[in-house]
Amino acid sequence: MRLQVKPDAIHDCLIKNADPKLKFKHDVDFKTWQRDVRKKFIELFGIDKIKPYECPINYEIQEEQDFGTYKRLRIVYESEKGFFVPSYLLIPNTGMKKYPLVIKLMGHNPGGMKNSIGLLGDTEEEKYRKAGAIQAVENGYASLCVELRGMGELSTDGEKRLWGGAMCKYTASVALPLGRTILGERVWDVSRAIDVMEQFEIIDTDNIIVTGGSGGGTASFYSACYDERIKYCAPLCSFCSYSTSILDMYHCLCNYVPSLLEWFEMGDLAGLIAPRKLLIFAGKTDEAFPINGVEDAFATAKSIYKKAGAEDNVKLVAMDCGHSWRPEYVWPNVNEFFDIKK
């Protein structure tokens, strides 16, 4: 017999035979299981290593512009001691006392959050298609764009970027030896942004939606897993079983968390959001997050929500597209499924 050399054979075998220790089972005590998953989630994502650097609420409104139908504020806030995060808050000019809030997180893109406020694109049509925050305002919400670490203004530049390759690769790599993950840091930044939003009387922090596509969808999902003040979560082109997406093809380093599959699959983590509403969008022809993997993860999420007594609070929308942000699907479904009074 001739021995065959297959470079990734051992990894493929381990993924195929993975049996996560905290995967959802129908006979579990839901509250106990949910508590155990949350504890392990915080540990694996390195959020417990960030907590010691927590700081008092500290923010600055650096500019304010009025665009007629809405005003836009640039807000920089301190997320952890000595680390500041830029953001943009868009507030409709319709005279309401309070507005429900959409936190719009941009996907893996060097332009970062500026895409979401309509500043980037070759044509006006392209700018608008990417501008999820402006779309949110048109649908009656205030919208906050938080710059994700490794993207836009928080992307590494100079020599570090040169050696790191992808814009977020250096930041994601350095987090790991520090016991952190870039995903945990992004989740932390979103949570601290909510702390800041609680200082604005015009923002209805009892009705917070988090959404985004691709890397922004991933950060949206994990942010809702961590922060229970997020009542509604709508990840797009990102929710998928690990075994058919980030463990089956090359993805950016910012998607990876050590020992993740040892403990749970992505569908299991929907248990940290249940019974809050979860609206999942997937592209039928998305090659990065294949629809069969999405459906597998959704089946787990559906079982979890049924166990939580909230089966109707989770929904999958399969879009006729690949890997892209599609406003024509997002807003009608967000408005109907979440049904927030505005």
Give the type of residue at 196: V
First and final C-alpha spacing in the chain: 70
Give the pLDDT score at 1.
77
Number of alpha carbons in the 13 Å side-chain half-sphere of residue 14: 9
Instruction: Give the Å distances, CA to CA, from 142 to 65, 87, 133, 187, 200.
Output: 15, 13, 8, 20, 11
pTM, two decimals, is 0.96
Whole-angstrom distance, CA of residue 232 vs CA of residue 220: 10
Rg of the chain over all Cα atoms, to the nearest angstrom? 20
Give the pLDDT score at 342.
83
Whole-angstrom distance, CA of residue 220 vs CA of residue 228: 12
Burial class (CB in 10 A: 0-12, 13-18, 19+), 281: buried
Q: Which domains does the chain carry?
A: 20-338 (3.40.50.1820)
3-state secondary structure string across the chain: CCCCCCCCHHHHHHHHCCCCCCCCCCCCCHHHHHHHHHHHHHHHCCHHHHHHHCCCCCEEEEEEEECCCEEEEEEEEEEECCEEEEEEEEEECCCCCCEEEEEEECCCCCCHHHHCCCCCCCCHHHHHHHCHHHHHHHCCCEEEEECCCCCHHHCCCHHHHHHHCCCCHHHHHHHHHHCCCHHHHHHHHHHHHHHHHCCCCCEEEEEEEEEEECHHHHHHHHHHHHCCCCCEEEEECCCCCHHHCCCCCCCCHHHCCCCHHHHCCHHHHHHHCCCCEEEEEEECCCCCCCHHHHHHHHHHHHHHHHHCCCHHHEEEEEECCCCCCCHHHHHHHHHHHHCCCC
Q: State phi, psi for 235 to the nearest 5 degrees.
A: -75, 145
Give the pLDDT score at 98.
97
Q: State phi, psi for 158 to the nearest 5 degrees.
A: 65, -150
Give the pLDDT score at 167.
79
Give the type of residue at 58: N
Give the pLDDT score at 189.
98
Burial class (CB in 10 A: 0-12, 13-18, 19+), 74: middle
Do residues 86 and 147 make contact, with C-beta atoms less than 8 angstroms apart?
yes
Token pair for 186: 């992004």
pLDDT digits (tens), the chain, 342 positions: 788 888 899 999 999 999 999 999 999 999 999 999 999 999 999 999 999 999 999 999 999 999 999 999 999 999 999 999 999 999 999 999 999 999 999 998 889 999 999 999 889 999 999 999 999 999 999 999 999 999 999 988 765 665 555 678 889 999 999 999 999 999 999 999 999 999 999 999 999 999 999 999 999 999 999 999 999 999 999 999 999 999 999 999 999 999 999 999 999 999 999 999 999 999 999 999 999 999 999 999 999 999 999 999 999 999 999 999 999 999 999 999 999 988
Give the pLDDT score at 286.
98
